[in-house]
Amino acid sequence: MPGRVALASAVLLLAVGTGCPETYGIDGKMDKAIRQDIQDGLEEHQRCEDGELRVWSCTDPDDRETCRWRCP
């Protein structure tokens, strides 16, 4: 019985672990698509009312309380 479980696990791991690297690997199609979705979401979130990108700025670099997103 333990041999069957090990064999079934090995076959499952082999079937799942050998996915298409050009699709699911590092810098594959899925990786690039996810990166682009994240970038688009961040840009959309960081836009001012007039459509310009907000800028992170600090009036006093030593005081983090003065840092915030500002519209240009």
DSSP labels, 2-68: HHHHHHHHHHHHHHHHT--HHHHSTTSHHHHHHHHHHHHHHHHHTB-TTSPBPEEEESSTT-GGGEE
pLDDT, tens digit, 9 for 90 and up, residues 47-59:
787 878 788 888 8
**Distances in whole angstroms, Cα of residue 59 to Cα of each of 1, 33, 45, 65:** 69, 37, 22, 9
What tokens appear for 23 in the block?
A: 């699709």
Give me the pLDDT at residue 59, please: 85
Of 63, 61, 42, the C-alpha closest to 53 is: 42
In the structure, what pLDDT confidence band is assigned to residue 62 with cuts at 50, 70 and 90?
confident
Whether 2 has a pLDDT exceeding 80, the answer reads no
pTM: 0.44
pLDDT digits (tens, 9 = 90+) for 10-34: 777 666 666 677 777 788 888 899 9
